[in-house]
Amino acid sequence: MAVKGKKDRYFEVKEGGPYDAPGESSEMFKCTDCGAETHPEEGWNGAPDPHRCHPNCRANHGDWKTGSVTRTYKKNFDRIFPDAPGAGL
């Protein structure tokens, strides 16, 4: 179950299998975008570490990163705002 706030982009999962002895599995967070794993000492009472995510992970940067636009976006921008700073680049 995802928690609202910082934890809403992470799954709460248990590491280990069904045949592990009780107490051998550990609670961890798994990023919903890049799959990076965080193993806080407090288990799910701790907080996920966003620094473990991959550099292009949306959990780190939101849904949009500065400068991360498609070629179609640039063509459309140039067509609509031909005299704008940065147009035609």
* pLDDT interval class at 60 (50, 70, 90): low
* Residue 53 within any structural domain of the chain: yes
**Cβ-contact 11, 30 below 8 angstroms:** yes
* pLDDT interval class at 2 (50, 70, 90): very low
Domain holding 41, by residue range, is: 6-80
* Residue 88 within any structural domain of the chain: no
pTM of the model: 0.53
* Residue 89 within any structural domain of the chain: no
Q: Residue 85 to residues 34, 73, 74, 81, 88: CA-CA distances in angstroms?
A: 34, 15, 12, 9, 9
The long-range contacts involving 44-52, CB below 8 angstroms and separated by at least 24 positions, are 44/12, 47/6, 47/7, 48/6, 48/7, 48/10
Mean pLDDT of 63-86: 76
pLDDT in tens, 7-43: 578 888 887 777 777 667 788 888 888 888 888 888 7
Counting the structural domains of the chain, the total is: 1
